[in-house]
Amino acid sequence: MRTNYQILGISQNATPEQIKRTYRALVKSWHPDLFVSGSQEQARAGDRLREINAAYAILSNPQKRTIYDAKLSKRRSGSEPKPEYCLRCGKPTLYWDIERDKALCNDCGRTAAAAASFY
């Protein structure tokens, strides 16, 4: 998924003037009226222009941009899941971010289930 910064082709620390300048240049080059009426290029330009307008609506408003940046940094920091390791043997359990009482690998889990069914 592309970020609003990638859609506009700017860095995350761009100034409001840079955002506005880039937005205007993109609108001039992607406006559907510049393409042949009814063509696929015109439809593609319309889709691209909607993306550009949505990105600009967020990045041009200081409050919305602050909230967007916070969500973006949160998504980046929490995107990597951490693997669980078996409590008995230390092997990876192959279950990530699942709340359970005990983290057990397949081998240890089978022996624990067999022992539980024995009693």
pLDDT per position as a tens digit, 102-113: 667 777 767 666
pLDDT for 97: 43
pLDDT per position as a tens digit, 4-18: 999 999 999 999 999
Exposure of 1 in the CB half-sphere (CA atoms within 13 A): 6
Q: Which of 93, 1, 96 is nearest to 55 (CA)?
A: 1
Amino acid, res. 21: R
Domains present along the chain, CATH in parentheses: 4-77 (1.10.287.110), 83-118 (no CATH)
> Which one has a higher pLDDT value, 90 or 23?
23
According to DSSP, residue 84 is labeled E
Helix (H) or strand (E) holding 53: helix 40-59
